[in-house]
Amino acid sequence: MKTRFVIPIVVFAVLVVFLGIGLKLDPRKVPSPFIGKPAPEFSLPSLHNVHANLSTQDFTGSVWVLNVWASWCVACRAEHEVLQDLASEDLAPVIGLNYKDHPNDAKRWLRQLGDPYQASAVDADGKAGIDWGVYGVPETFVIDQQGIVRYKHIGPITTEDLHETIIPLVKTLKEKRA
């Protein structure tokens, strides 16, 4: 008879502990299985040149930043100015992966807000995003000269993220080659 009451209390206590732990986690710090591994390859149409493809191979030998974005994404608008600041630093190519978006909407959005990307690839069906482990947009990756993913940021990049994490990492990775 006593176990009938003890078991639900124990189960409830365990659930409360897990809930408490989960509420303290930062959803932007989800561990990525890609860190330290080769970047997933893609070869996709260029947003600005329908007769050309962009590929991960195009950036081999240089440190580069991949930003997954979409014109329909409110958080992407929030980080857009920060990406323009990153691009103006001219430390590494900032490449866009336009995720599940219509190319005309994406081009109009970039004309209105400015284009921080050296190039943007069109991932219309989201398959490349899935290969990269994208949970949602925006997400940003830093890739080294050997094509290894060194950092993943989930959600919009803030000025603080840019200056405290991304820029120092890009500089460090570039120095390792020198």
pLDDT tens-digit map of 131-144? 999 988 999 999 99
pLDDT at residue 3, rounded to an integer: 67
The answer as to whether 129 is a domain residue is yes
Q: Which residues contact 80 (CB under 8 A, 6 or more apart)?
A: 113, 114, 116
Confidence of residue 13 (pLDDT cuts 50, 70, 90): low
Segments in 63-166 forming alpha helices (H): 74-89, 103-113, 127-131, 159-161
Gap between the Cα atoms of 142 and 147, Å rounded: 9
Query: Total domain count for the chain?
Result: 1
Q: Is residue 14 part of a domain?
A: no
> How high does pLDDT run on average in the chain?
89
Rg (CA), the chain: 20
Q: Does residue 58 lie in a domain region?
A: yes
Question: CB neighbours (10 Å) of residue 110?
Answer: 20
Between 12 and 75, the more confident residue is 75
Range(s) of the domain holding residue 42: 28-177
Average pLDDT over residues 119-139: 95
Question: Is 20 inside a domain boundary?
Answer: no
Residue 178, pLDDT above cutoff 60: no
